Amino acid sequence: MKKLFTSLLSVSALSLALAGCGGGEQAQPAGENGEAPKGAPTKLVISTWGFSEDFFRKEIYEPFEKEHNVEIVLEIGNNAERLNKIRQGSSSVDLVYLSDYYAQQGIDAGVFEKIDRSRIPNLNEIYDIAKAPLGEDYGPAYTIGQFGIAYNPNLVKTEIKSWADLWNPELTGKLTLPNITSTTGPMILDAASLVAGNQSFNEDQAFAKMKEINSGVVKYYDKTSEYVNMFTQEEIAVGPIMEMYFKDIQAAVPEAKFVSPEEGGYAVMNTVNIVKGSKNKELAEDFINYQLSKEVQEKAAKAKVDSPVNKTLSLTDEEAKGITYGEETISKLRMLDMKAVNEKSKAWIDRWNREIVQ
């Protein structure tokens, strides 16, 4: 009886299997375009800042997930926190978004994979400055912002046109500058060297110019939110800031102006890199290629989320308002050598604390 029962079960199982293959009601549903259903999605872990998360989830991540059968998982935090987790090995991240300043630290620490540029054809569509800001082996910049100057013309009598205008005595008690420890701190130090008359960076003359301006500075800000609050409350009337945050200022002070200094603003680049040891390197390269595509870049630009690096898209004046856009603008931006900045950073901070904010 036991053998007979086993045989009957086998026959029943075979019948069910054949019925499933016969195209009747028991068949599994086909996917889009009639293809076989996909298996469980691959998990791709992305480390990022978390701003505009709803936009990125709906407009960027979900289409990629659907196209590639991927589940995107986010690790959120600031540059330093997220990079430290990767350095310590306490993260399962595949792909990491970092400013160029912190990305260079990741390269120096040896925590990034070298990318295969042949798998990222959209690199051919982006500005040259964005293709390999930290070397050919590492990830591109997917957005370029501009560090320029904002001011309130109701409180500042003289039109601001130049980095040198920040040294105008009229601005005493109305001025804010970034702290040396912030992402843009080294940029204001470079601007000081430029104002002192140097085409290449001169540390001594840069610090001498910073001493000249120091008494007029209301506060050296660490966070953009500090700048916006001070500007809104008229505690300051002028200071350098990244263009992407100017919309927050203008929302509170509609007459505020943003200036690209005649010597050139500074390029602020956010990069995307693959973390060493990722089991999804090719999928991560696919995502980088997707991030650089005209479609994705256009969505982010029109939403005022990121300034585009893809030079094939075309925006109206209204669409381009408030973002860093266009070959003419990009070509004038000044770019710091982030490897040199990181090598000098500790010495500059020590000197800044001794000579400027003592």
Q: What is the CATH number of the domain that holds 113?
A: 3.40.190.10
| Domain co-membership, 202 together with 119 | no
275 within domain boundaries: yes
36 within domain boundaries: no
Domain range spanning residue 132? 42-144+268-331
- pLDDT of res. 39: 85
136 within domain boundaries: yes
In the chain, the N- to C-terminal Cα span, in Å, equals 95
| Domain co-membership, 248 together with 176 | yes
DSSP code at position 59: I
| Domain co-membership, 208 together with 276 | no
Instruction: Give dist(CA 348, CA 59) in Å, integer.
Output: 41
314 within domain boundaries: yes
| Domain co-membership, 117 together with 245 | no
How would you write the pLDDT of the chain (358 residues) with one tens digit per residue? 434 334 433 433 433 333 343 333 333 444 444 443 468 999 999 999 988 999 999 999 999 999 999 999 999 999 999 999 999 988 899 999 999 999 999 999 999 999 999 999 999 999 999 999 999 999 999 999 999 999 999 999 999 999 999 999 999 999 999 999 998 999 999 999 999 999 999 999 999 999 999 999 999 999 999 999 999 999 999 999 999 899 899 999 999 999 999 999 999 999 999 999 999 999 999 999 999 999 999 999 999 999 999 999 999 999 998 899 999 999 999 999 999 999 999 999 999 999 998 7
| Domain co-membership, 156 together with 233 | yes
| Domain co-membership, 177 together with 309 | no
14 within domain boundaries: no
| Domain co-membership, 170 together with 236 | yes
- pLDDT of res. 38: 66
Angle at alpha carbon of residue 319, lines to 313 and 322, rounded to 5°: 110
| Domain co-membership, 140 together with 232 | no
- pLDDT of res. 18: 34
- pLDDT of res. 358: 72
- pLDDT of res. 2: 39
27 within domain boundaries: no
Per-residue exposure over 33-54, b if at least 16 CB sit within 10 Å of its own CB, e if not: eeeeeeeeeeebbbbbbeeeee
- pLDDT of res. 91: 82
Locate 2 and state its tokens.
């036991």
126 within domain boundaries: yes
Instruction: Give dist(CA 212, CA 219) in Å, integer.
Output: 15
| Domain co-membership, 226 together with 349 | yes
| Domain co-membership, 61 together with 139 | yes
Locate 87 and state its tokens.
């350095």
| Domain co-membership, 258 together with 286 | no
| Domain co-membership, 169 together with 211 | yes
Per-residue exposure over 259-291, b if at least 16 CB sit within 10 Å of its own CB, e if not: bbbeebbbbbbbbbbbbeebebbebbbbbbbbb
- pLDDT of res. 105: 95
Residue 131: Cβ within 10 Å count: 16
> How many structural domains is the chain composed of?
2
7 within domain boundaries: no
Q: How many CA atoms lie within 13 A of 145 on its CB side?
A: 23
